[in-house]
Amino acid sequence: MIELHQLTKRYGDKLAVDGLSFQVPQGVVTGFLGPNGAGKSTTMRMILDLDRPTSGRVTIDGKRYGQLNEPLKYIGALLEAKAVHPGRTAYDHLLWLAQSNRIPRRRIDEVLGLVGLTAVAGKRARGFSLGMGQRLGIASALLGDPEILMFDEPVNGLDPEGILWVRTLMKELASEGRTVFVSSHLMSEMALTADHLVVIGLGRLLADLPMSEFIKQNSRSAVRVRTPHVEQLKDALAGAGLRAVPGPDGAYEVEDGDLEFIGELAASRGITLHELSPQQASLEEAFMRMTADSVEYHAGDGEGRDAAGAWGSSWQARGGAARKEK
C-alpha cells in the first residue's frame, strides 16, 4: 500500500504539493486526477524517491522507496515514457533493468509479449513512436511482477486500440489484487477505468472517494425546454413545484424534472413546445467544477476562470463532455 502523510514539496516560491495525505488502496484502480500543474507528477516522483519532500513522508508497504531491496519487485512505474536511452534496443533497456534487480531474463520475453513489442524487441528506442514508448514504459513497470503499479498519464499518445488495451490491462492488474495508481487530467478517461478517485488541485487534496460515490453525487439530470409561451410554462411548472431556469440560448432548464411529466403538463395546458430533451451533466464538467479554483493556467486572458465556472453551471447532452487536452 502507498501511504502519504502531509507530503509537501516546495520549489522556491512554488508550493507544488501542499500537505497531501491519502492512502492508495489495494486491489482496485485508483485514479489520480488534477488539472495541469496540480502536482500529480511531483507526487509520483516523491513516491519513487526521485524528488525529496520538503516535509511529510510517503511510504510503500511501510518503507521509503530507497529502503526497498530490489524495488522493481515492489513497485513498477511508468513516469516519463521517453526515459529510455535512444540508442538502446527495447530488449537491452529491459535487460539493464532486469539485471539491476536480479530479475530472470525469461521475464523480459514475457513482458515484451504482454505489451505487444516482441516483433520490435531488437529495434533501437529512438525509432519508437510515442505509443511504442508508452508500451515499453509499461513493460518496464511490469518487469518485476510488482504488487504496486503506478502510471503517469499512460494513455497519452496512444491510439484508440492502445487506450482500450491500457484500460483493460489496468483493470486486470487490479483484479489480481494489485495496487494500481494512475494519473490523468481527464475525468472522462478515469470514469471508464478507476474504482477509486483522488483529486488534487494546486497541490492540495480536493477529494478522496470511491468512483461510484463521485458519480452518484454528480449525475444530476435536467430537462431542457424551449417554448414561445415561457410565462405559461413557468406558471404550470411552478404549480407542480418545478422551476425553469433560463439557459444561455433562449431555452430553459428544469432541474430534476421528468421529461414525460413536463411534456404532458404542457400539452394539458395547450402550451406549444419547440424542444423537450433530457440533459445530463458530464463527469468531466463535475471535475472541472471541483477544480475550477485551482486551475493554474487558463485559456485566454483572465476569462478562463469564468469559462470554467460556466462549464460547471451549464448542462450538456450525455456524451458531449468538454475535453481539456494536455
φ/ψ (deg, to 5) at 277: -140, 145
φ/ψ (deg, to 5) at 325: -80, 150
C-alpha span between 86 and 29 (Å, rounded): 31
Q: CB of 279: closest distance to ligand ATP in angstroms? A: 29
Q: Which is nearer to ligand ATP, 52 or 106 (CB)?
A: 52
**Total count of residues recorded for the chain:** 326
The one segment of 9-17, 223-231, 248-256, 263-271 that binds ligand ATP by CB under 6 A:
9-17
**Grid cell listed for 56:** 511529510
Q: Which is nearer to ligand ATP, 17 or 84 (CB)?
A: 17
Among 7, 16, 20, 81, binds ligand ATP (CB under 6 A): 16
Nearest-10 crossing angle of helices 160-175, 130-142: 10
Q: Which is nearer to ligand ATP, 95 or 322 (CB)?
A: 322
* 112 sits near ligand ATP (criterion: CB under 6 A): no
Stretch 23-82 residues interacting with ligand ATP (CB under 6 A): 34, 36-42
C-alpha span between 312 and 61 (Å, rounded): 39
> In sequence order, what are the beta bridge partners of 183?
32, 152
Range list of H helices, the chain: 40-47, 90-100, 106-115, 130-142, 160-175, 187-191, 211-218, 230-239, 259-268, 283-291, 304-313
Q: Which is nearer to ligand ATP, 262 or 308 (CB)?
A: 308
C-alpha span between 200 and 8 (Å, rounded): 13
* 11 sits near ligand ATP (criterion: CB under 6 A): yes
* 14 sits near ligand ATP (criterion: CB under 6 A): yes
Among 93, 167, 178, 185, binds ligand ATP (CB under 6 A): 185
Build a one-symbol-per-residue string for 272-301: x at contacts with ligand ATP by CB under 6 A, - elsewhere: ------------------------x-----
- Distant-in-sequence, close-in-space partners of 255: CB < 8 Å, separation ≥ 6: 220, 222, 243, 245
Q: CB of 173: closest distance to ligand ATP in angstroms? A: 22
The one segment of 8-16, 77-85, 142-150, 162-170 that binds ligand ATP by CB under 6 A:
8-16
Q: Which is nearer to ligand ATP, 227 or 291 (CB)?
A: 291
Q: Which is nearer to ligand ATP, 34 or 144 (CB)?
A: 34
Point out which residues bind ligand ATP (CB under 6 A).
11, 14, 16, 34, 36-42, 185, 296
